[in-house]
Amino acid sequence: MGKKSEKSNKLSAVSTRQRLLTGLSAQLVRWIAIGMSLFHLYTGYFQFTAMNQRVPHVVLGFILIFLTYPMRKGSRKDRLSLDSIIAAAIIFVSGIYVLFSWFKKMGAMGLEPPLHELIIGGVFIILLIEGTRRALGWAFPMVAVLVLIYARFGEIMPGLLAHKNYGTERIIDTMFMTADGVFGMLAGISATFIFLFILFGALLREAGGGEFFINFAYGICGKFRGGPAKVAIVASSLFGMLSGSGTANVAGTGQITIPLMKRTGYPPYFAGSVEAVSSAGGLLMPPIMGSAVFVMMEILGVNYLVIIKASILMAILYYVGIFLMVDIEAQKIGLVGLKQEEIPPLKKTLKEGWHFFIPLLVLIYFLGIERSSVTRAALWANVSIPLIALIRKNSRMSFSKILSGLEKGALTAAPVVAILSLGGIVVGMITLTGLGLMMSSILIELSHGSLFLLLFMTMIASIILGMGVPPVAAYIILAILVVPALVKVGVYPLAAHLFVFYFGTIAGITPPMAPDAFVAAGIADSPMMKTAFSACRLVLVIFILPYIFVYNNALLMVGSFWEIIWVSFTALLGVFALSCALQNFMGRKLPLLLRLILFGASISLIVPEYRTDLAGILVLFLIMLYQIPQFGRLKGYVLRR
């Protein structure tokens, strides 16, 4: 397992176009990355003022990007290029300038900025766009460029989209030297919460936690029918939760799980689709949700636990649905579990790695019981990893291993720094121009007062945007542009935010682009579109649930204890019925009419309303009585009576 994991990590690194440096270049990058991680651990305890924390965070992140990502795909990856060194140096000098000038700037508000400052700021913004392009491709940088053009030339736009013209000086000054642009709220979230959670994942993997969680998944699910697919679900959900990238997760864990599923007997397209949906779903899984929970918490101004409570049932339903679809597929094609010798013994795995659960418990303890700030909780969770690793000899972290974890944490975080820093430009310009309010008015007008139509348009916008940019970036844009329209027509704010977040996330498996599914198809050697459509079928429930929780917040765990228990029970029954209907199998193949009736019953069970729940339960019971051979004796007894 260790060799496979190492191989998958290398493949994942190559897939992101990172350089594989050697010699002095590698040492330079290594120590910058380690320094960045140590800086964030220090500021996790000794809180800095906003700009003093955000500026080094952004500057170090982009220095790492320019040193580790080449300008072109075909560039040499074993050494630094002159353009990268020059760009990193300019970023460093610009950061020094901001640190020594921003406080003086506060006393000169309203004055025209000096020419040299505008030049530095303009070059800095251009380099941020270029750095993000290197790390993430063109999609998100193009959004930022279009927003900047809109801010400069908005007066020529038609109708509601027109706004007062903002000069180049105003735009650069706002974006570069204030806390409303590059160094704004999103950079603050990245510098305080998100970096520490990415570092948490890197340190945990370096201690051996990654291999433990995969072996743990094998021990739990490997012996059951279709075991490898269920292993993929558990392992990928855990990794996706920490990584925040479904695509990177597919590239990593998929190297192990997809060939194993194929060898067991699953068709290649199905193996790829299982890995894709499992990896994408990791971003929906509390307690970390791929770091999006912290952005949402800041934007909404609500407690961390409020979002976790609202998300937990949705995550359970998502993964229960995948488990059922996989299990039914295994029944249909007659698969069995893995051989005993292929499964790491669960008892031995837990004995050797139970302590890897402790950092997660430390995190939950400080957040839920001590009510510490998220930053402080993340700090202690990070600190706990080298300490708990001492419990077992095979997991003890040497000084070099700790340094390696610090290095990998910063390198993993650098693209996220790019997303949120450039996102600050997008948010700043949207706020400056009033585009968010205008977009809300346009959407409400187009929907003609119909909430369903407004939700449908929001879903399409979320999926289209999510296909081109990372989920966290998509959520940020949607939260500013689209969510206000939903809130304005009376949608519960948290439901509105989760609605766009879920659809922005599953865009990774939604045709025609479906990056997560396409990466999985490449590993599985299966048709790309067939894999993507199969992935959508596996998680059809997540295309339905957001609509339902907007109309009825009970699915977000809002209500009394018994209401929540009842809603959870009937929703689980609904997911079971939906899985059987989609797979056309319940003990045996379903007749077409029963399949359609079962699909209707599944929707009535998922909708949180007592009359529809009771009707759905009755229909489901009668279909099971008729359909499942094991119920034959019960059916005969009922008929005789």
Summarize pLDDT for 351-401 with one digit per residue, the tens. 888 888 898 888 878 876 777 877 888 899 899 999 998 988 888 899 999
What pLDDT does 94 receive? 95
Is the CA virtual torsion 538, 539, 540, 541 positive or negative?
Answer: positive
Q: Between the CA of residue 243 and those of 386, 408, 409, what are the distances in Å? A: 20, 12, 10
If 0-12 CB within 10 Å is exposed, 13-18 middle and 19+ buried, where does residue 169 land?
middle
**Residue 278 and residue 517: Cα distance in Å, rounded?**
11
Q: Cis ω on the peptide bond leading into residue 287 (within 30° of 0)?
A: yes
Q: How many Cα atoms sit within 13 Å of 428 on the Cβ side?
A: 28
SS (H, E, C) 74-138: CCCCCCCCHHHHHHHHHHHHHHHHHHHHHHHHHCCCCCCCCHHHHHHHHHHHHHHHHHHHHHHCC
The secondary structure of residue 585, as a DSSP letter, is B
What pLDDT does 42 receive? 95
What pLDDT does 243 receive? 53
What pLDDT does 10 receive? 38
What pLDDT does 264 receive? 73
Q: Which of 463, 421, 478, 407 is nearest to 135 (CA)?
A: 421
Answer for the pair 531, 273: CB distance below 8 angstroms, yes or no: yes
Q: How many Cα atoms sit within 13 Å of 462 on the Cβ side?
A: 29
Answer for the pair 279, 250: CB distance below 8 angstroms, yes or no: yes
Helices (H) and strands (E) in the chain, counts: 31, 0
Backbone φ and ψ of 439, nearest 5°:
-65, -40
Backbone φ and ψ of 589, nearest 5°:
-65, 140
For 271-302, b/e burial (b = at least 16 CB within 10 A) is bbbbbbbbbbbbbbbbbbbbbbbbbbbbbbee
What pLDDT does 190 receive? 84
* Contacts of 332 by beta carbon, 8 Å cutoff, 6+ apart: 583, 585
Radius of gyration, alpha carbons of the chain: 25
Q: Is the pTM of this model over 0.85?
A: no
* Contacts of 555 by beta carbon, 8 Å cutoff, 6+ apart: 313, 314, 545, 548, 549, 567, 571, 608
**Residue 530 and residue 507: Cα distance in Å, rounded?**
16
Q: Where are the chain's structural domains? A: 2-190, 559-641
The secondary structure of residue 36, as a DSSP letter, is H
What helix, strand, coil percent values describe the chain, rounded to 5?
80, 0, 20
The secondary structure of residue 334, as a DSSP letter, is T
If 0-12 CB within 10 Å is exposed, 13-18 middle and 19+ buried, where does residue 411 land?
buried
Low-confidence ranges of the chain (pLDDT < 50): 1-16, 107, 634-641
* Contacts of 479 by beta carbon, 8 Å cutoff, 6+ apart: 295, 296, 299, 497, 500
What pLDDT does 15 receive? 40
Q: Which of 235, 244, 241, 245 is nearest to 210 (CA)?
A: 235
**Residue 283 and residue 293: Cα distance in Å, rounded?**
9
What pLDDT does 103 receive? 65
Torsion of CA 149, 123, 13, 266, to 10 degrees: 0
**Residue 276 and residue 507: Cα distance in Å, rounded?**
11
**Residue 501 and residue 474: Cα distance in Å, rounded?**
8
* Contacts of 93 by beta carbon, 8 Å cutoff, 6+ apart: 120
Q: Between the CA of residue 444 and those of 206, 450, 500, what are the distances in Å? A: 49, 8, 16
What pLDDT does 37 receive? 96
What pLDDT does 247 receive? 64
* Contacts of 501 by beta carbon, 8 Å cutoff, 6+ apart: 292, 296, 471, 475, 478
Place of tokens 């855990």: 238
Answer for the pair 271, 325: CB distance below 8 angstroms, yes or no: no
If 0-12 CB within 10 Å is exposed, 13-18 middle and 19+ buried, where does residue 52 land?
middle
Q: Which of 579, 570, 585 is nearest to 617 (CA)?
A: 570
Torsion of CA 90, 96, 101, 106, to 10 degrees: 100
* Contacts of 181 by beta carbon, 8 Å cutoff, 6+ apart: 174, 175, 424, 425, 428
